[in-house]
Structure 1
Amino acid sequence: MIIAYICYGSAHSSIVAASIHVGLLPSDRIPTFDEILSMPHYDLTDGNQIGIPFYMGIDEYDNDVYAIGAKSGRKIMMKAVRSFLKESGIGENEIMLIDTLPAIGLLTKLGGMTSRRFKIISVGRPFTVYGIIKKYNNFLDIVNKVKSRLKELD
């Protein structure tokens, strides 16, 4: 199965959730500032990379895990993928699409806009990290629900 965590710009929330899922970030504690910054792709995505899946690793169930940015078209993209799978005769159980944007708060949104859109990285990036730390339990909840569903399917 393919697991795809989806957010606005594939720079923050999808990267964090996918990193937790594959063990790049802890699932038993809040990570440090530096641990968050050390994730692949964290706060590094350019606009031309939106919509391109970033491979984040493989989970304990042998599923490939990705992070994808879809701007404000997350729901449309998810619907299109499911429709494409159905039309192609591929079962919906071959891919799991998870919207991670609801996990973040205002601090990460403002930091992300400052860093990625306005290119004021030295100001925006720390705000994104502090926002992620503040809302980290939301990410743990999302990933734990996904893993529970995967365990049921196994």
Structure 2
Amino acid sequence: MKIIYHCFGGTHSSVVAAALHLGWIDPHRLPAPDELRSLPYFDRRSPGMEGWILFLGRDRYNNEVYVVGKRGMGETFENLIGGLTQALDLPREEVLLLNTSPLVNWLMAVGGFLSRRLGITLLGRPLVIWGVRRIFTRLVTFVQECRLLWEINR
């Protein structure tokens, strides 16, 4: 199975959710800022990389875990991927799309804009990290609730 976490830019909530999924972050304690900064692609994609589906690793069930930024596509993104899997004759149940966008708070939105869009990482990155730490328990819950979706398909 291919599990794709997606959000607006593919650099914050989706990356942290995928890291939780892969066991790179302990879900039982708040990650330190340096832990977040060290995650692959965390606050590092350049403008124009949205839409690139990036592989992060395999989970313990051998599922492939990816992240992607969808910009303003909203639900259109999931329709596009669903149509693509159908066109390529892939079983729809082999691709699981997990939208982390509803979990994003204003700190992450403003920080992401400053850091990724305007290149002001000195201001934006600390805001994003603060925002991620504020919603961390919600990200943990999201990943734990979604876990059933890929465990069933083992």
Q: For the superposition of Structure 1 and Structure 2, which TM-score range results when normalised by the shorter chain?
A: over 0.9
In the alignment, which residue of structure 2 is the partner of 1:119?
Answer: 119
Tell me the distance in 2 between the aligned counterparts of 1:123 and 1:20: 25
| Alpha-carbon displacement from aligned partner over 1:51-106 (angstroms, at most 9, x marks no partner) | 11111111111001001001011311211111222233321111000111111211
Structure 2 counterparts to residues 25-36 of structure 1, below 5 A = 25-36=25-36
Q: Which amino acid aligns with 2:56?
A: M
Instruction: Provide the residue aligned with 1:38 in structure 2.
Output: 38
1:96 aligned counterpart, secondary structure: strand
Instruction: Report the Cα distance in structure 1 between the residues aligned to 2:20 and 2:36, rounded to whole angstroms.
Output: 10
TM-score, normalised by the number of residues in structure 2: 0.95
* Gaps in structure 1 of 5+ consecutive residues: none
Partner of 1:138: 138
Aligned counterpart, 1:98: 98
> Residues of 2 paired with 1:21 and 1:151: CA distance?
12
Moved more, 14-23 or 74-83: 74-83
In the alignment, which residue of structure 2 is the partner of 1:62?
62
Q: How many residues align?
A: 154
What is the TM-score of this pair, normalised by structure 1?
0.95
Alignment of 1:3-18 (within 5 A): 3-18=3-18
Opposite residue 28 of structure 2, the aligned amino acid is D
The residue type equivalent to 1:37 in the other structure is R
Q: Distance in 1 between matches of 2:103 and 2:40?
A: 19
Amino acid at match of 2:139: F
SS of residue paired to 1:57: strand
- Secondary structure, in 3 states, of the residue corresponding to 1:6? strand
Q: Is the CA contact 1:6–1:74 (under 8 Å) kept in the aligned structure 2?
A: no
The CA distance in 1 between the partners of 2:72 and 2:122, in whole Å, is: 25
On the 8 A contact 1:51/1:69 being kept in 2, the answer is yes
Letter aligned with residue 60 of structure 1: R
1:104-151 per-residue CA deviation (whole Å, 9 max, x = no partner) reads 211111111111111111011000001000000111111112212212
Cα distance in structure 2, aligned partners of 1:149 and 1:11: 23
Question: Hey, what's the Cα distance between the residues in 1 that align with 2:11 and 2:33?
Answer: 16
What is the RMSD computed on CA atoms of the aligned residues?
1.1
